[in-house]
Amino acid sequence: MNCEHYMIRQISLFSENKPGRLAALAKACQEENVNILAFSIAEADGFGVIRALVDKPDVAYKKLTSMGFNVAFTHVIAVEMKDEPGGLYEIASKLSDAGINIEYSYAFSGKSKAILILRVDQVEEAIRLLISHKFNLIATDSIQ
């Protein structure tokens, strides 16, 4: 099994914690016709990290870097989750049993299903584990 197939490139941005930074990112994506599929903001004391899944990561990277942003790629995995009580537990417990640590995570629920985005310490192990338990992982080429 090719794990890379499921390793989605997430864009991360270093941002000062002040008004206008998310707007700047959003405007840049609009100008480059980049669609943001999901995003989260992690906040620390005085600064934050904006993380986003986009359909054209390379275009977004180039644009944001040229604007002076600190940008990095990180591999995350996106897994379909039942949109009902216990849906998150199913996934989290499997990872926990295998000793895989979730560094951070964010999720959204759409019309038909929910998606859980995970950054874990052992990416390939997590992909194998989840697939072996018949979870549906989002393939990179289906969105990017």
Is 14 a residue that touches other proteins (CB under 8 A)?
A: yes
Provide, rounded to whole angstroms, the least separation between the CB of residue 6 and other proteins.
18
Q: Which stretch binds other proteins (CB under 8 A): 67-75, 77-85, 94-102, 134-142?
A: 67-75
Is 119 a residue that touches other proteins (CB under 8 A)?
A: yes
Candidates 4, 5, 16, 89; binder of other proteins (CB under 8 A) is: 16
**Burial state string for 6-34 with b = 16 or more CB within 10 A and e = fewer than 16:** bbbbbbbbebeeeeebeeebeebbeeeeb
Question: How many residues interact with other proteins (rule CB under 8 A)?
Answer: 19
Radius of gyration of the chain (CA): 16
Q: Which is nearer to other proteins, 74 or 144 (CB)?
A: 74
Q: Which is nearer to other proteins, 73 or 89 (CB)?
A: 73
Is 53:39 a contact under the CB 8 Å cutoff?
yes
Q: Which residues bind other proteins (CB under 8 A)?
A: 10, 12, 14-16, 42, 44, 46-47, 49, 51, 68-72, 74, 103, 119
